[in-house]
A and B are shown apart, each in its own frame.
Chain A
C-alpha cells in the first residue's frame, strides 16, 4: 500500500476500505490461534480455501484465518458472519458441509453447534449467546476474531490507528499522559503499577535516547494472554506503543518476545513491516516530525527474563539476571537510559483509552482497577480458554458462568491466580471481586492473568511443592534467599509429600518463607513463597494430615495412599487386573479381586478404569 503521509490520508484510506466492504456479505472466520492450530485449524483453513475455490465462491464469500477467539476447549472454532453462527470442534471433513449448507443457503448444521455440558439438547446458535462469551467484556480481545492478523487493512477498517492519529493531531504529550493517568490504567504484567505515572517519570527522566519497550516474555505455565494478543492483533500493540513513545518522547523501542512463540514473532514482524511501509511506524509517522521504530528481540526462554531488569539485561546481550531496582528503570533502564516497559496487554489498552477517553474507560471495572483483564482460565473447569472480563467480576462468575463449573460435578477446592507465584484462593472467597488490590488482600496476586482451577482431587501440599520446584528451577541463582531458600523449601515440601514430614516443619517453612519474601532481590523471589504461604493459610489441615497422620486427604501423594477393592462392589470383571502394569491385582472370574499392597506401584490405573467404582484410595 501507499505510504500515508497525513491524518486525512489515513481517514480517506479507511473510508475506501469500509466502502469496499459489504457488512452483509458472508464472511467465514476460522480461529487459527495456537490452541486451534493444535486442534487442526490449519487443515480447516486449507479445506475452506479449497472448497470455496472449487465452488466458485472465492470472490463472493470473504474468508479469514483469524487470531485466537478464546474458547480453546472447543477448537477448531468457525464463525459465519454476518449472523455470527458459531460452530465448534470443527474438523476439515466438516468443511464441505459447512460451505454447502451454511455458507450457501444459511442452513444451520445442528451437530456443530455448542451445547452446554449440563443440557445437551439446548443448542446455542450465535457466538454472543454462548455462555462462555456472554458474560465477558471483550474490549481488547474482541477484534481477534474479526481480523486477519497479517492484514493491516482489516485493522484499519475496524478503526485501527485512529487513536494514534487523534493523539498525534490533537493531543500534547502531557495531555496523553494525563488521560492515561486519569483512566487509571495499571500495568497488566503483574505489578499493577499505574502506567500513566510510569510514563510521566520516564518522560521527566534525564537522559537520551529513551526507550519504550514491550514485554512479551510471558512465561507462566498455562498462560497465553499476551501470546494470543500479539498473534491475533499485533497492530493494536504497536499502536499503543507508538502512542506511548510519542507521549514519553522516545524514538526507539523493542518487543521482547519469547522465541517459543513462533507465530507471535512472525505476526509481529509482519505487522511492523506493514506499519513501517504505511507510514504508521518509523520515520515521520503520518507525515508528522515524530519518528519511532520498533525492533523485535527474541528471548531465550528463561522465566526470570519477564522481570523488567532481567529483560533489559537480556536485551543488552547479557545474561538475563535482575538487578536491584531502587533506582527505577524509567531513570536507568536499557543501556542505562530511561526506559519505559509495559507488557503486551497494557499496550493494547492504550488505543481504546486515547480514542474513547478516560471517562469512558473508567466506566468499566472498579475504582482502583479500571478496565478489563484477560485471564487464561485453565485447570479443572469445563470451559478452558482465554477470557476477558471487567475488573471486579467475582471468581464465582468466572468459574461457574464463564467457565461452566467443575467437570464431573466435582467440588471446587481452590483457584490459583497470578501464575506460579500466585496464591491459592479457597471456596470461601469465591465471591471476591477480582482486581489488583482484592487479590493481594487474600494473599494472591493478579500476576499476568493465569487462573488455574482446582477440584477436590488436588492435593494442596503437592501443588505447593510443584510450584516451589518450578520457581527454584527458574531462579537465576543470583541472590542467596531465592537460590538456597527455595531449594531447601522444595526439599522439605518433597519430604512432606513423601510422608517424611517432621514436627516443626511448618514453623520452619513459615520462617523461611518470610526471609525469601523480604530479602530476595527481584519479584520472582519476593513472590515465590505465595503458593506455600497461601495454602498454609487456607489448607493447613492438609499439611498436618501429611505430617502427623501420614495421610494425603486428596488422595494424590503416592507414598501416602493405598488402593483397595471394596469387595461388595467388585463385579470381578477383571478390568483392573488387565490394566495393572505391576501384576499387583489378584483375582479370577467370579471371584472378588484384591490389590497386593507390596506389589502396587500406585499408578492409579485400576482406580481410573474400574467400571463399578469398586476401587478406593485410602
Chain B
C-alpha cells in the first residue's frame, strides 16, 4: 500500500494514496463535484472544465480540473467556493450558448443560476458538447477507433473520418449510450441498424431458427475475430441456441 497523502476537502481532513485523481478523492469523501466529460471507464480527458476546483498547494491557490489533477502532496481543496461558482457559471453559460436546447446542460446551468445564455453570446445551436466520450469509448473500450475529431477551435467536431461512412464502425452503439447529451441518434428497423451522425448503416443478422434480427452483421464479424469463435456460430440468436 502506497503512502497516504493528507488533504482537506472543504475544510474536512481526509487521506488518499499518492497520485489519486482529485475527483476520486472528492467523491470518496462524499463531496459531489459536477462533471460533463467524465466517465470512470476511460482515462480522464479534462476538457469540459466543469469539475474545476480550487487547490491550495501551500503558497498560492489555483484552479485545477479535479479529474486530471492527481494528489501528490498535502493540499487544501475548495470545491464550491465563490470563485469556482463564478467559473462554473461562466463555463455553463458558454456551453449553453453552444447547445441551448440540451436538457442536461440546462439543468446543470440552472443549478448555477444560469437560465439562458448571455444575450451578448452568439448561439451555435449545436447538440454536441465535444466531451469526446464517443471517440474515447470507441477507441479504448470497444477497441475499434472508428471516430475522431476534425477541425480546430470553434470548428472542431467529433466525426467519422472525412465525415463519411466508416466501414470499421461495428454499429455497436456504445458511443450513443455514452453521450451525455444523447446527440448520437441510434435506431433499428427493417433489418437495418443505423447511427445517423456517423452516416453508418449496417445490415442485421437474421437468426436461422427464429427468423428475428438479432445482431449487426459488422459486429458479429468483430465478435468472431476478437473472441476466436466460428462466425457461423453467431447465425443463431441466443434465445434459440
Residue positions of A touching B, CB distance < 8 A: 302, 304, 319, 323-324, 326-327, 472-481, 483-488, 491-492, 495, 502, 504-505, 508, 511-512, 514-515, 518-521
Cβ–Cβ contact B68 & A324, under 8 A: yes
Cβ–Cβ contact A477 & B94, under 8 A: no
The answer, among A473, A495, A514, for a CB contact under 8 Å with B153, is: A473
Cβ–Cβ contact A508 & B118, under 8 A: yes
Cβ–Cβ contact B121 & A478, under 8 A: no
Cβ–Cβ contact A488 & B130, under 8 A: no
In the complex, whether B46 has a CB less than 8 A from a CB of chain A is yes
Cβ–Cβ contact A519 & B68, under 8 A: no
Total number of B residues with any Cβ neighbor in A under 8 Å: 35
**Mask for B48-62, Cβ within 8 A of A = 1, else 0?**
110010000000001
Cβ–Cβ contact B152 & A476, under 8 A: yes
The residue of chain A having its C-beta at the shortest distance from the C-beta of B119 within the complex is A502
Supplied contacts A504-B120, A508-B120, 7 more A-B pairs, CB within 8 Å: A323-B68, A324-B69, A476-B156, A477-B154, A488-B94, A488-B122, A521-B49
CA distance A487 to B95 in the complex (A): 12
The residue of chain B having its C-beta at the shortest distance from the C-beta of A319 within the complex is B149
Cβ–Cβ contact B47 & A326, under 8 A: no
21 pairs from A and B in contact (CB 8 Å cutoff): A304-B152, A319-B149, A323-B46, A323-B68, A472-B153, A475-B152, A477-B155, A478-B132, A480-B47, A480-B95, A480-B130, A481-B49, A483-B130, A484-B97, A487-B153, A488-B122, A511-B90, A514-B87, A514-B90, A518-B52, A519-B91
CA distance A512 to B95 in the complex (A): 13
Q: Known: A326-B70, A518-B62, A521-B46. Contact between A480 and B94, CB under 8 A?
A: yes
In the complex, whether B98 has a CB less than 8 A from a CB of chain A is yes
Q: How far is the CB of B226 from chain A (nearest CB, A)?
A: 24
Closest 8 CB pairs of A and B: A477-B156, A324-B68, A484-B94, A515-B90, A475-B153, A518-B63, A487-B154, A519-B49
Residues in A whose Cβ lies below 8 Å from that of B180 = none
Cβ–Cβ contact B154 & A519, under 8 A: no
Which has the most chain B C-beta neighbours within 10 Å: A480, A495, A514? A480
Which has the most chain A C-beta neighbours within 10 Å: B48, B129, B151, B154? B154
Residues in A whose Cβ lies below 8 Å from that of B98 = 484
Cβ–Cβ contact A515 & B149, under 8 A: no
CA distance A327 to B91 in the complex (A): 25
Describe A's contact surface by its main secondary structure: helix
Cβ–Cβ contact A479 & B47, under 8 A: yes
Cβ–Cβ contact A476 & B48, under 8 A: no
Q: Known: A474-B153, A476-B153, A477-B130. Contact between A521 and B47, CB under 8 A?
A: yes
Q: How far is the CB of A462 from chain B (nearest CB, A)?
A: 19
CA distance A90 to B48 in the complex (A): 56
Cβ–Cβ contact A512 & B130, under 8 A: no
Cβ–Cβ contact B63 & A519, under 8 A: yes
The residue of chain B having its C-beta at the shortest distance from the C-beta of A517 within the complex is B63
Residues in A whose Cβ lies below 8 Å from that of B69 = 324, 326
Q: How far is the CB of A541 from chain B (nearest CB, A)?
A: 21
Q: How far is the CB of B63 from chain A (nearest CB, A)?
A: 4
List B residues 138-171 near A (Cβ within 8 Å): 148-149, 151-156
Q: How far is the CB of A479 from chain B (nearest CB, A)?
A: 5
Q: How far is the CB of A496 from chain B (nearest CB, A)?
A: 11
CA distance A326 to B46 in the complex (A): 12
Residues in B whose Cβ lies below 8 Å from that of A505 = 120
Residues in B whose Cβ lies below 8 Å from that of A488 = 94, 97, 120-122
CA distance A508 to B87 in the complex (A): 13
CA distance A477 to B64 in the complex (A): 18
Q: How far is the CB of B224 from chain A (nearest CB, A)?
A: 30
Residues in B whose Cβ lies below 8 Å from that of A480 = 47-49, 91, 94-95, 129-130
Q: How far is the CB of B184 from chain A (nearest CB, A)?
A: 19
The answer, among B46, B52, B95, for a CB contact under 8 Å with A484, is: B95
The residue of chain A having its C-beta at the shortest distance from the C-beta of B63 within the complex is A518
CA distance A515 to B92 in the complex (A): 11
Q: How far is the CB of A516 from chain B (nearest CB, A)?
A: 9
In the complex, whether B86 has a CB less than 8 A from a CB of chain A is yes
The residue of chain A having its C-beta at the shortest distance from the C-beta of B96 within the complex is A484
CA distance A579 to B98 in the complex (A): 45
List B residues 103-153 near A (Cβ within 8 Å): 118, 120-122, 129-130, 132, 148-149, 151-153
The answer, among A477, A491, A492, for a CB contact under 8 Å with B151, is: A477
In the complex, whether B65 has a CB less than 8 A from a CB of chain A is yes
CA distance A572 to B95 in the complex (A): 57
Q: Known: A488-B122, A518-B62. Contact between A479 and B46, CB under 8 A?
A: yes
The answer, among A483, A486, A502, A520, for a CB contact under 8 Å with B120, is: A502
CA distance A491 to B117 in the complex (A): 15
Residues in B whose Cβ lies below 8 Å from that of A326 = 64, 68-70
CA distance A302 to B155 in the complex (A): 15
Q: How far is the CB of B86 from chain A (nearest CB, A)?
A: 7
Cβ–Cβ contact A515 & B87, under 8 A: yes
Which has the most chain B C-beta neighbours within 10 Å: A483, A485, A504, A519? A519
Cβ–Cβ contact B97 & A511, under 8 A: no
Q: Known: A484-B97, A519-B49. Contact between A477 and B120, CB under 8 A?
A: no
Cβ–Cβ contact B154 & A484, under 8 A: yes
Residues in B whose Cβ lies below 8 Å from that of A518 = 52, 62-63, 87
CA distance A445 to B91 in the complex (A): 26
The residue of chain B having its C-beta at the shortest distance from the C-beta of A473 within the complex is B153
CA distance A504 to B63 in the complex (A): 26
Cβ–Cβ contact A477 & B152, under 8 A: yes
CA distance A382 to B119 in the complex (A): 45
Cβ–Cβ contact B94 & A485, under 8 A: yes
Which has the most chain A C-beta neighbours within 10 Å: B48, B97, B130, B153? B153
CA distance A503 to B134 in the complex (A): 41
The residue of chain B having its C-beta at the shortest distance from the C-beta of A492 within the complex is B120
CA distance A319 to B91 in the complex (A): 25
CA distance A472 to B122 in the complex (A): 15
CA distance A505 to B120 in the complex (A): 8
Which has the most chain A C-beta neighbours within 10 Å: B68, B118, B121, B156? B121
Residues in B whose Cβ lies below 8 Å from that of A485 = 90, 94
Cβ–Cβ contact B94 & A481, under 8 A: yes
CA distance A291 to B105 in the complex (A): 55
CA distance A477 to B94 in the complex (A): 13
Cβ–Cβ contact A477 & B90, under 8 A: no
The residue of chain A having its C-beta at the shortest distance from the C-beta of B157 within the complex is A477
**Mask for B6-26, Cβ within 8 A of A = 1, else 0?**
000000000000000000000
The residue of chain B having its C-beta at the shortest distance from the C-beta of A482 within the complex is B153
Residues in A whose Cβ lies below 8 Å from that of B63 = 518-519
The residue of chain A having its C-beta at the shortest distance from the C-beta of B50 within the complex is A480
Cβ–Cβ contact B154 & A483, under 8 A: yes
Q: How far is the CB of B126 from chain A (nearest CB, A)?
A: 10
CA distance A520 to B152 in the complex (A): 15
Q: How far is the CB of A376 from chain B (nearest CB, A)?
A: 26
Cβ–Cβ contact B49 & A479, under 8 A: yes
CA distance A257 to B65 in the complex (A): 31
CA distance A302 to B69 in the complex (A): 26
